[in-house]
């Protein structure tokens, strides 16, 4: 049990028994290794379910939408930015929340580990900087830095931006990270190459919508892809429909996406759809100096007008 | 759109008041010429239903 887990349980027990919150949202171990799942704890007796390790990649802000009760929520840097976005978009009130911040050192990508192991992984343990995966007849140890989720290795907001409680010391933020090398690589291509590139990227998509469901930004009561009157986009595997889905999904996240990586993590076929949202994130930063979810005071880039907004594209 | 491979110039934006008739004509002409120069669109196209059936 890591010390963060112990602190989390202590905080959760205190908040629940004092009546400060009715529920704590955190993580518990999943049924298979490296697949921690969200966990709603409602009584002090249940806080033993809560854990914290390098497999807590799911974005818990997703479970706050339109809740009415007082909630304690475990929040990494990215979760906290999505909580801020939720508050700005009136999907939850700040007064309802006790944010239990967890300074984060990155979450590991289970695919990277699974690919380097010869069989099914049945047990995973970790130290501060290493992950050990074990299975039938094998044991492999990895440097955590080598198996981080891609978005975590590029993360520059590891500490929660808002918190009421803190489960651990703040960590040093990564400096000098080149966040957009992959986007620039696409930008350097010709239109033909780009079309082909995204065609290949999206070819395995089975339209399961796991990326949408995992995303804390996707809370519309009826998603445009599910609507049938009018039917905005075909529901099949036609490449044009698949691309329309991914393209529009990304656009709905413009100026809101925190690159938490929940979409990519949830994808059963390993599509890096973050290449769409990261382009929008990069544009927001370069054109409007905007990074989503950093402050409760600032209004989002698509929410305010400034006379010097770039408008060269309008003739 | 251009980021994922739609040719630059195929998608254009303008802001035209209902009072700006000449601007509308000018922009519509320019857009038509620009798109014609790019040739027929090959992307974001689905075959007509009749051909599928």
Closest CA to A157 of A231, A237, A75, A89: A75
Average of per-residue pLDDT across A211-226: 94
CB contacts of B27 in chain A (<8 Å) are 315
CB contacts of B5 in chain A (<8 Å) are 191-198
CB contacts of A313 in chain B (<8 Å) are 13
The answer to whether the peptide bond before residue A286 is cis (omega within 30 degrees of 0) is: no
Task: Give the integer Cα–Cα distance in Å for A309 and B12.
Answer: 18
Closest CA to A102 of A48, A57, A151, A39: A57
**Do the Cβ atoms of B5 and A191 come within 8 Å?**
yes
Interface test with A, best of B2, B3, B25, B45 (most A CBs within 10 A): B3
SS3 content of chain A, % helix, strand, coil (to 5): 35, 15, 50
Q: Is pLDDT of B52 > 70? A: no
pLDDT band, residue B44 (cuts 50/70/90): confident
**Do the Cβ atoms of A194 and B5 come within 8 Å?**
yes
pLDDT tens readout for residues A256-299:
999 999 999 999 999 999 999 999 999 999 999 999 999 999 98
Q: Give the mean pLDDT of chain A.
A: 94
ipTM over 0.85: no
Identify the closest residue of chain A to B26 by CA–CA distance.
Answer: A315
**Do the Cβ atoms of A195 and B4 come within 8 Å?**
yes
Q: Is pLDDT of B48 > 80? A: no
For chains A and B, what is the number of CB pairs under 8 angstroms?
42
pLDDT tens readout for residues A44-92:
999 999 999 999 999 999 999 999 999 999 999 999 999 999 999 999 9
Q: Provide the pLDDT for residue A297.
A: 92
Identify the closest residue of chain B to A184 by CA–CA distance.
Answer: B3
Whole-structure pTM value: 0.90
**Do the Cβ atoms of A192 and B5 come within 8 Å?**
yes
Task: Give the integer Cα–Cα distance in Å for A93 and A205.
Answer: 36
| B22 interfacial to chain A (CB closer than 8 Å) | no
Average of per-residue pLDDT across A143-168: 95
pLDDT band, residue B41 (cuts 50/70/90): confident
Q: How far is CA A105 from the centre of its chain?
A: 14
Task: Give the integer Cα–Cα distance in Å for A134 and A123.
Answer: 5
**Do the Cβ atoms of A186 and B45 come within 8 Å?**
no
Q: Provide the pLDDT for residue B51.
A: 60
**Do the Cβ atoms of B30 and A315 come within 8 Å?**
yes
Residues B42, B50 contacting (CB under 8 angstroms): no
Range A33-36, long-range pairs (CB < 8 A, 24+ positions): A33/A121, A33/A122, A33/A123, A33/A124, A33/A133, A34/A108, A34/A110, A34/A113, A34/A121, A34/A124, A35/A110
Residues from A in contact with B at Cβ < 8 Å: 186-187, 191-198, 234, 238, 240, 243-244, 247, 276, 279, 313-315
Q: Provide the pLDDT for residue A315.
A: 78
Nearest to B6 among A191, A234, A240 (CB): A191
What's the gap in Å between the CA of B6 and the closest CA on chain A?
A: 6
**Do the Cβ atoms of B2 and A238 come within 8 Å?**
no
Closest CA to A108 of A120, A90, A86, A124: A124
Percent of chain B with pLDDT over 70: 91
**Do the Cβ atoms of B3 and A279 come within 8 Å?**
yes
Tell me, what DSSP letter sits at residue A86? Answer: H
| B43 interfacial to chain A (CB closer than 8 Å) | yes
- C-alpha torsion A223→A225→A228→A232, nearest 10: 110
Identify the closest residue of chain B to A187 by CA–CA distance.
Answer: B3
Identify the closest residue of chain A to B28 by CA–CA distance.
Answer: A315
Q: Provide the pLDDT for residue B8.
A: 86
- Residue corresponding to tokens 């202590």: A10
């Amino acid at each position: 049990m890591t010390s963060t887990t112990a602190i989390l349980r202590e905080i959760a027990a205190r908040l629940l028994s004092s009546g400060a919150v009715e529920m704590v949202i955190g993580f518990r171990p999943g049924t298979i290794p490296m697949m921690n799942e969200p966990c709603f704890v409602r009584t002090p007796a249940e806080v033993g379910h809560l854990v914290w390790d390098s497999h807590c990649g799911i974005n818990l802000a997703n479970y706050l939408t339109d809740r009415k009760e007082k909630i304690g929520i475990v929040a990494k840097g990215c979760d906290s930015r999505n909580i801020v976005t939720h508050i700005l978009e009136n999907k939850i009130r700040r007064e309802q929340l006790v944010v239990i911040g967890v300074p984060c050192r990155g979450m590991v990508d289970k695919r990277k580990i699974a690919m380097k192991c010869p069989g099914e992984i049945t047990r995973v343990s970790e130290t501060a900087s290493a992950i050990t995966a074990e299975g039938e007849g094998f044991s492999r140890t990895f440097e955590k830095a080598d198996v981080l989720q891609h978005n975590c290795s590029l993360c520059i907001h590891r500490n929660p931006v808002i918190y009421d409680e803190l489960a651990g010391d703040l960590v040093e933020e990564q400096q000098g990270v080149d966040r957009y090398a992959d986007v620039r690589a696409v930008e350097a291509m010709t239109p033909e190459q780009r079309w082909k590139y995204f065609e290949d990227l999206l070819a395995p998509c089975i339209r399961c919508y796991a990326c949408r469901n995992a995303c804390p930004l996707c809370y519309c009561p009826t998603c445009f892809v599910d609507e049938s009157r009018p039917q905005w986009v075909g529901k099949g595997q036609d490449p044009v429909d698949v691309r329309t889905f991914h393209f529009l999904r990304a656009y709905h996240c413009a100026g809101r996406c925190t690159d938490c990586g929940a979409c990519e993590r949830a994808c059963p076929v390993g599509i890096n759809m973050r290449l769409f949202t990261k382009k929008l994130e990069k544009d927001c930063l370069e054109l409007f100096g905007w990074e989503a979810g950093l402050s409760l005071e600032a209004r989002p880039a698509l929410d305010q007008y400034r006379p010097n907004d770039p408008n060269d594209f309008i003739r | 759109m251009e980021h994922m491979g739609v040719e630059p110039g195929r998608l254009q934006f303008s802001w035209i008041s209902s009072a700006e008739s000449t601007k509308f004509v000018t922009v519509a002409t320019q857009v038509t010429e620009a798109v014609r120069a790019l040739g027929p669109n090959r992307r974001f196209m689905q075959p007509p239903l009749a051909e599928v059936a």
